[in-house]
Amino acid sequence: MKQICVIGVGYVGLVTAACFADLGNRVIALDINEERVEGLKRGVMPIYEPGLKEVVDHNARSGRLSFTTSYAEGLSGTQFVFIAVGTPSGVDGEADLRYVETVARTIAETMTSPLIIVNKSTVPVGTGDWVADIVKSHQPKPIPFAVVSCPEFLREGSAIGDFTQPHRTVLGSLDRDAAEKVAQLHLPLRAPIVITDLRTAEMIKYASNAFLATKISFINEIANICEALGADVKEVAIGMGYDARIGKAFLDAGLGYGGSCFPKDVKALAYMAAEKGRHPQLLRAVMDINDDRRRTAILHLQDMVGDFRGKLIGLLGLSFKPNTDDMRDAPSITLAQKLLAGGATVRAYDPVAMDVARGLLPQVEMMSDPYTLAEGCDALMVVTEWNEFKQLDLEKIKSLMRRPVIFDGRNIYDPEDMTAMGFSYRGLGRGYNGASDK
């Protein structure tokens, strides 16, 4: 049985720890957040992620998974230590590596036997070398170690499935033997394993996220053009997606990408490029188009309801995407702030994110369900495409609203059905709203 320590029990770390334990390894998950660790010892999940609690509980009961705040305990007898701490955006868009730095230093000061340090956090190209330097320079006495980059590709909301059935595992190291050992840990996942050098592995992660963000901005650009020319972006995406070279995935036009990763990672890649004197024009356009989506949504709604002053607007959904309570860079935050600034009263409903959202949007009243939300509203905005919003009793919603206006930021409803039902309805990129206006 291999022994692994995972440092950071957030979205990536907790899933990694639970899934590696489920594969039969002995895993100690470590975090400096005592409340998180104490909660986990009692079976309380710090995040909402479907299926996570079941895997954590099962493996904690079996004794394969345990939690600690102590580096001495976490590193004792461990062969592999995974770093999965946050790498948020710094002031200029660069990745802020302070948490990675602290972890590297603490590992160096605590380790008592040889270690393979595996970095799962998304870090700028060159960070692996930097981590190796930090560890080397902070060890009280030299103990052998290797650094391997193993970027994570899971998505929130489907993290367990993504981790256990990955498209590929990417490993990068200057120490081929260490990379092979980390590859062994991943063999049960039966995915292709790409072994390369440290910097290339780090770059694969940024290039992958930037490409997916580019796909989203591309379809949002097409959505804009569809509005002007009278075409329907949803059908355009279906028609494009059948081409295997294009693929169906990541062609949903809407409010743009949010969350803790695409916004920060595209920014960080552009920063890395600019720092080296390159001009990352495409990445800048991707970010520009994405920023415009939230403004475009507000302009549409304004066009539909007029001046926001004195209006009651309901937000259907708050989290940055369905099946998570993550509110990091969620479009709902920008939209609510813009509506409030325009003089509207804003209320919201989300199946799981309201507890997190309350602290971020204190002026937004949280409602108990979509129907209570709709009562007396001048307009509803679909912000997150939760499945439960696709099955609402829309006749009832209409009867509860002051004015039957729906702006659908995720294109979950059919424009013709909505109009037939008597709603004033708009999606994004669905030609009828654009061409007829111009």
Give residue for tokens 């920023």: 291
Residues 303-342 that bind ligand UGA (CB under 6 A): 320-321
Nearer to ligand UGA, 166 or 370 (CB): 166
Q: Cβ 356 to ligand NAD, closest distance in Å?
A: 12
- Of 149-157, 301-309, 401-409, 414-422, the segment contacting ligand NAD by CB under 6 A is 149-157
Identify the H or E element spanning 149: strand 145-149
Say whether residue 154 binds ligand UGA (CB under 6 A). Answer: yes
Find which of ligand NAD, ligand UGA, none residue 258 binds, CB within 5 to 8 Å per kind: ligand UGA
Side by side, the strands of the sheet bearing 345-349 are 365-366, 345-349, 312-316, 379-382, 405-408, 424-426
Tell which residue, 171, 256, 184, has the closest CA to residue 216.
256
Give residue for tokens 């993290």: 159
261 a catalytic residue: yes
- Of 8-16, 196-204, 224-232, 236-244, the segment contacting ligand NAD by CB under 6 A is 8-16
Can you read off the two tokens belonging to residue 148? 């391997």
In eight-state DSSP terms, residue 86 is -
Tell which residue, 148, 152, 94, has the closest CA to residue 124.
94
The CA distance from 223 to 20, in Å, is 41
Can you read off the two tokens belonging to residue 260? 């803790």
Say whether residue 103 binds ligand NAD (CB under 6 A). Answer: yes
Which listed residue (5, 6, 12, 40) binds ligand NAD by CB under 6 A?
A: 12
Nearer to ligand NAD, 133 or 395 (CB): 133
- Of 88-96, 256-264, 276-284, 429-437, the segment contacting ligand UGA by CB under 6 A is 256-264
Say whether residue 121 binds ligand NAD (CB under 6 A). Answer: yes
* Exposure of 398 in the CB half-sphere (CA atoms within 13 A): 12
Give residue for tokens 């230590």: 81
Could you tell me the maximum CA-CA distance found in the chain, to the nearest angstrom?
75
Can you read off the two tokens belonging to residue 47? 């995040």
The CA distance from 107 to 76, in Å, is 11
C-alpha 133: how far from chain center: 30
Residues 253-282 that bind ligand NAD (CB under 6 A): 260-261
Residues 200-239 that bind ligand UGA (CB under 6 A): 209, 212, 216
Say whether residue 294 binds ligand UGA (CB under 6 A). Answer: no
Q: Cβ 156 to ligand NAD, closest distance in Å?
A: 4
Say whether residue 258 binds ligand UGA (CB under 6 A). Answer: yes
Q: Cβ 110 to ligand NAD, closest distance in Å?
A: 11
102, amino acid identity = T
Which listed residue (250, 337, 358, 365) binds ligand UGA by CB under 6 A?
A: 250
- Of 57-65, 73-81, 251-259, 368-376, the segment contacting ligand UGA by CB under 6 A is 251-259
Q: Which residue ranges make up the site for ligand UGA (CB under 6 A)?
A: 122, 152-156, 209, 212, 216, 250-252, 254, 256-259, 261-262, 320-321
Q: Which residues are catalytic?
A: 261
